[in-house]
Chain A
């Protein structure tokens, strides 16, 4: 047993070193390899140190899991990465809950502490499991991406929460019957669903980060059940990671976590009908846009999720390459919530071979707009709305935005004049230095590339 614990500490050290190497894209890949070696050590140490393990059962389980995991990992499209992470979170939470359940039926160290940690582990793990599957369904389109709300929803959730606390307590002190335990599992599964369905598709980055954190907490709780340092340390790392990302996503949307979880934004807001001035926009053809780009020296591309939906990442990279070959400077401005999960847009652009040095985040890029000749906004809307800076009545007031309006010229590509996620008009489109280039992002960029070559 001594050696096993040393192996677990070694595994934890390798996890920490692995995450540390994620501080730069240069070393990140080796970091992932180091962490996977840590995992291998932990697994092998467990297999060799327990007597009378059921090797056949374990081997079959691992083979099935490897086939499923590898299949998903190889097949998944980069646009589907949020779904993939969501469903994997679910598996992680589910595994922790199952381990705790097995321990419930035959505790190795029976005590009140043991029962309490089992209850917590089963609760968090089950909630993560069902919540992740709802999140997966919403992102994949199996479940409506719109917030699902009904009267009395909050009261119902509060009642479920109270029952959960009571069932948790009775599971610990309840004595012979298993009914409380089953009730706990059922209600934890239910609250995972009822807490996730009212959250809209645009808020999914927050939910996925939060569920990621929960899967870590579940693993740590299982570590407390089994008194296993390896699980506790790894679970704590993942829990912290998810919490930090949740916080970053909330800041990116200028909303509190409570507001995201209970706010159900996107449904209640009625679009303001005749509120004030109609926005007058100027539109431009791709030929005009090409001429403007030819005269520019510094160009900043602002990709939004619309770009990814149109699968236009390669098209914009080709244009950027072309412009760079003409001696121009091209940068990309990545808003924290540009994709469907933290860092999603960076992965989508990396897939299109955009060098990572060109991808700048909010704080890095905003000063760059001051002397920027042309900003190209592709499928982004709310994250470039200047109303967030000055209009206290706007629902997005206070949200950190990309200051594209400070560029000499702003080219905005949109399919139509429909408002963005927050359902509000964007005054940027009516600014004197803004030109709208309407059309599907991919088709527009292909035309633009052609026009640039013909100049």
Chain B
């Protein structure tokens, strides 16, 4: 992939992020944080690939990365769901 291309994607994603996140009301800011935290667990994709590259050392680094990222993904989405379940109308 071309360097310019991925920079374009990056910049556009930041703009999209600003657009949608400013619309999240303050009352949901904690779930937003824990939810976006889960999304940053996307590093799991890199972790999975890392177990393959880099020989034995890379496999170990990737293994620990898989654990960390999975904690992030599973814990993040679960706790966000737990919180959002509590937000009720009258």
Contacts and interface: CB of A to CB of B under 8 A. Distances in A.
- Residue in A35, A102, A219 whose Cβ sees the most chain B Cβ within 10 Å: A102
A99 B31 CA distance: 27
Size band of the interface chain B makes with A: 35 or more
Interface of B: 1, 3, 6, 9-10, 13-14, 16-18, 20-55, 57-59, 61-90
Chain B interface helix/strand/loop/mixed: helix
Contact of B69 (A50, A95, A209, A230): A95
A350 B87 contact: yes
Contact of B32 (A39, A66, A102, A245): A245
A232 B53 contact: no
A182 interface: no
A28 B69 CA distance: 23
A240 interface: yes
Contact of A236 (B17, B38, B70): B17
B6 A229 contact: yes
Given A106-B54, A342-B30, A92 B40 contact: yes
Contacts of B74: 65-66, 69-70, 73
Contacts, number: 372
A238 B79 contact: no
A237 B30 contact: no
A356 B78 contact: no
Contacts of B45: 8, 42-43, 46, 228, 230-231
Nearest to A78: B83
Contacts of B75: 68-70, 72-73, 84, 88
Instruction: Give the 3 A-B CB pairs with smallest separation, nearest first.
Output: A65-B70, A240-B17, A343-B29
A264 interface: no
Contact of A69 (B27, B73, B84): B73
